[in-house]
């Protein structure tokens, strides 16, 4: 039984008075994973500042230490001493990726590149998620991989074969940063160029970080809206000695949404990642009439755009989220159930079938759970439709995170904006990506 199966307690989130706050959100999850994973491959110690101390990213630190890295963590500063790409030993134990799709996909790429015997598993949610999308292309590159359902699901083992992956070209059926990153990391160990073409533009943190490690990364924008990314195997990685991670835009999105729907609110989110492959949510919100401001935009030392976001309460109108919007807003889409409830008219999310293979089937979970708190929402095969009414807004009631951090936090924000309050079952799930979520929720909503 997973730890959360035994937790049935609910947390009541009361309707809030105007939110007037400046807030720093926890560090970026995607970047924390990637920084730790390149540090495993580094020839010298790497210090990561503002590392995310959440369940998913702590699982990554455990995973790299099982692969022989020395990991010393003092709160959000982590020093990692890896063994260099050529000397990483056979892992000493089974690697448990916990709830993290990013960790399992990228580390399978590294393990395949190493060609050392290694076994992987995860929690019940991760064991239900598709792995064939990385196993298949890794096999085409020469990896030997076995697993449940022929390698479609965890547990999975990479067999000893001495590595030696082949340079290869991959065309992905869906835009997925996890799959792309798996293949780019595997490509570091290949005998020739590895290229990945995706039909949309998924987040490009891996490309930027590998470039900061002096890897030759080619990027070709396609007129179709897709992108072809290639890596040349570098022999060794020149990882920067220090990497500082900005705040996570996907965590900031909860407070941005809260400010928009709680009357009289103005919230400023301090230094947060604003990589354009992550911020389509802001464009969607602007299309709904949101009052948003970006301040102090710049770029950090590893080439990631950062800045501050100010969001103010705004009358919203309905919108349609189209398939091309999905990769750049994939983790924020559940919040459209909440925002759509306050927007005049029908808000439609289309082309988002990928949500069905996240930590939960997020299309089903969003529809069933937000309906319980009074949102008029209908499931579509590829998304959902919300019929909004600013006067009705959200009534309130009791709903469950279903163990999915983003569903839980979205329901909590619904509570702040509701008429009667929302009781969220298993809001502890927030700790997968947002340690201290309840503390920040209390501080943002106190008068
Ligand atoms: C992530 C990629 C996204 C996102 C996930 C983190 C990453 O998934 O949903 O939370 O760090 O690469 P995709 O593989 O659908 O892009």
Indicate if ligand 1 lies below 6 Å from the C-beta of 251: no
Which secondary structure element, helix H or strand E, spans residue 412, and what is its range? helix 405-417
Asked if 440 is an active-site residue, the reply is: no
Structure tokens at 355: 């949500």
**Can you tell me the distance from the alpha carbon of 395 to that of 393, in angstroms, rounded to the nearest whole number?**
7
Contact between 123 and 405 (Cβ < 8 Å): no
Give ∠ CA 236-241-247 in degrees, rounded to 5.
115
Give ∠ CA 187-328-26 in degrees, rounded to 5.
90
Contact between 59 and 306 (Cβ < 8 Å): no
C-alpha distance from residue 118 to each of 60, 146, 154, 243 (Å): 15, 11, 13, 28
Indicate if ligand 1 lies below 6 Å from the C-beta of 177: yes
Distance between Cα 219 and ligand 1 center (Å)? 19
Weakly modelled stretches of the chain, pLDDT under 70? 1-8, 447
Among protein residues, the one with the nearest Cα to ligand 1's atom 9 is 331
Tell me which of 100, 172, 330 to substitute to probe ligand 1's pocket, judged by most ligand atoms within 8 Å of the beta carbon.
330
Distance between Cα 276 and ligand 1 center (Å)? 14
C-alpha distance from residue 75 to each of 28, 49, 53 (Å): 15, 10, 7
**Can you tell me the distance from the alpha carbon of 265 to that of 255, in angstroms, rounded to the nearest whole number?**
10
Q: Which domains are present in the chain?
A: 2-24+246-444 (3.65.10.10), 29-231 (3.65.10.10)
Distance between Cα 177 and ligand 1 center (Å)? 5
How far, in whole angstroms, is CA 326 from its chain's centroid? 13
Indicate if ligand 1 lies below 6 Å from the C-beta of 106: no
Helix and strand numbers (H, E) in the chain are 14, 24
Contact between 133 and 64 (Cβ < 8 Å): no
Collapsed DSSP state (helix, strand, coil) of residue 57: helix
Give which of 385, 288, 290 is closest to 344, Cα–Cα: 288
* CA end-to-end distance (rounded Å), the chain: 41
Give ∠ CA 438-444-445 in degrees, rounded to 5.
90
Atom of ligand 1 nearest to the CA of 202: 16
**Can you tell me the distance from the alpha carbon of 120 to that of 148, in angstroms, rounded to the nearest whole number?**
11
pLDDT of residue 393: 97
Q: Which of 28, 123, 325, 331 is labelled catalytic?
A: 331
Sole residue written with tokens 């924008």: 221
Distance between Cα 99 and ligand 1 center (Å)? 13
Give which of 266, 263, 280, 267 is closest to 315, Cα–Cα: 263
Tell me the pLDDT tens digit for each residue of 58-105.
Answer: 999 999 999 999 999 999 999 999 989 999 999 999 999 999 999 999
**Can you tell me the distance from the alpha carbon of 253 to that of 279, in angstroms, rounded to the nearest whole number?**
9
Q: For residue 400, what are the β-bridge partners? A: 425
Contact between 79 and 47 (Cβ < 8 Å): yes
The radius of gyration computed from the CA coordinates of the chain, to the nearest angstrom, equals: 21
Alpha helices in 147-238 (DSSP H): 148-151, 177-187, 205-212
Which secondary structure element, helix H or strand E, spans residue 409, and what is its range? helix 405-417
Could you tell me the pTM of the whole model?
0.97
Among protein residues, the one with the nearest Cα to ligand 1's atom 4 is 331
Count CB neighbours of 64 within 10 A. 24
pLDDT of residue 44: 97
Indicate if ligand 1 lies below 6 Å from the C-beta of 202: yes
Which secondary structure element, helix H or strand E, spans residue 89, and what is its range? none
Contact between 419 and 393 (Cβ < 8 Å): yes
Phi, psi of 413, deg, nearest 5: -65, -35
Indicate if ligand 1 lies below 6 Å from the C-beta of 121: no
**Can you tell me the distance from the alpha carbon of 27 to that of 257, in angstroms, rounded to the nearest whole number?**
19
Contacts of 368 (CB under 8 A, 6+ apart): none
Give ∠ CA 110-354-418 in degrees, rounded to 5.
120
pLDDT of residue 163: 85
Contact between 27 and 427 (Cβ < 8 Å): no
Indicate if ligand 1 lies below 6 Å from the C-beta of 354: yes
Atom of ligand 1 nearest to the CA of 206: 12
In eight-state DSSP terms, residue 431 is G
**Can you tell me the distance from the alpha carbon of 445 to that of 267, in angstroms, rounded to the nearest whole number?**
11
Atom of ligand 1 nearest to the CA of 34: 11
Structure tokens at 344: 């005049």
Distance between Cα 279 and ligand 1 center (Å)? 13
Contact between 375 and 356 (Cβ < 8 Å): no
Atom of ligand 1 nearest to the CA of 174: 15
**Can you tell me the distance from the alpha carbon of 306 to that of 299, in angstroms, rounded to the nearest whole number?**
6
pLDDT of residue 108: 98
């Amino acid at each position: 039984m997973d730890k959360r199966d035994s937790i049935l307690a609910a947390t009541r989130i009361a309707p809030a008075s105007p939110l007037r706050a400046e807030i720093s959100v926890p560090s970026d999850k995607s970047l924390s994973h990637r920084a730790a994973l390149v540090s495993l491959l580094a020839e010298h110690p790497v210090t990561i500042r503002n590392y995310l101390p959440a369940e998913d990213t702590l699982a990554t630190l455990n995973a790299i230490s099982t692969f022989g890295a020395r990991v010393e963590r003092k709160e959000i500063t982590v020093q990692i001493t890896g063994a260099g790409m050529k000397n990483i030993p056979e892992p000493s134990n089974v690697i448990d990726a916990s709830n993290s799709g990013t960790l399992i996909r990228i580390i399978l790429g590294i393990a395949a590149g190493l060609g050392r015997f290694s076994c992987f598993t995860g929690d019940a949610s991760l064991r239900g998620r598709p792995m064939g999308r990385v196993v298949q292309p890794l096999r085409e590159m020469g990896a030997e991989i076995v697993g449940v359902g022929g390698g479609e699901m965890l547990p999975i083992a990479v067999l000893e074969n001495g590595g030696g992956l082949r340079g290869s070209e991959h065309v992905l059926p869906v835009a997925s940063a996890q799959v792309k990153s798996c293949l780019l990391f595997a490509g570091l160990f290949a005998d020739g160029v590895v290229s990945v073409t995706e039909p949309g533009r998924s987040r490009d943190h891996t490309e930027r970080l590998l470039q900061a490690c002096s890897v030759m990364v080619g990027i070709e924008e396609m007129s179709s809206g897709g992108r072809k990314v290639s890596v040349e195997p570098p022999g060794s990685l020149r990882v920067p000695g220090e990497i500082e991670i900005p705040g996570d835009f996907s965590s900031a999105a909860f407070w941005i949404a809260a400010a928009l729907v709680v009357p009289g609110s103005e919230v400023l989110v301090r230094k947060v990642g604003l990589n354009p492959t992550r911020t389509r949510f802001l464009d969607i919100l602007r299309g709904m009439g949101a009052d948003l401001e970006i301040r102090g935009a710049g770029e950090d030392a590893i080439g990631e755009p950062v800045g501050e976001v100010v969001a103010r309460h705004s009358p919203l109108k309905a919108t349609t989220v189209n398939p091309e919007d999905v990769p750049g807003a994939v983790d924020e889409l559940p919040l459209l159930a909440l925002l759509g409830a306050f927007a005049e008219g029908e808000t439609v999310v289309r082309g988002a079938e990928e949500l069905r293979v996240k930590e939960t089937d997020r299309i089903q979970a969003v529809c069933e759970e937000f309906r319980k708190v009074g949102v008029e929402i209908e499931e579509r095969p590829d998304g959902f439709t919300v019929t909004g009414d600013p006067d009705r807004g959200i009534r309130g009631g009791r709903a469950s995170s279903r163990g999915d951090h983003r569903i839980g936090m979205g329901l909590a924000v619904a509570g702040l904006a509701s008429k009667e309050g929302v009781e969220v079952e298993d809001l502890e799930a927030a700790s997968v990506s947002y340690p201290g979520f309840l503390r920040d929720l209390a501080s943002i909503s106190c008068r």
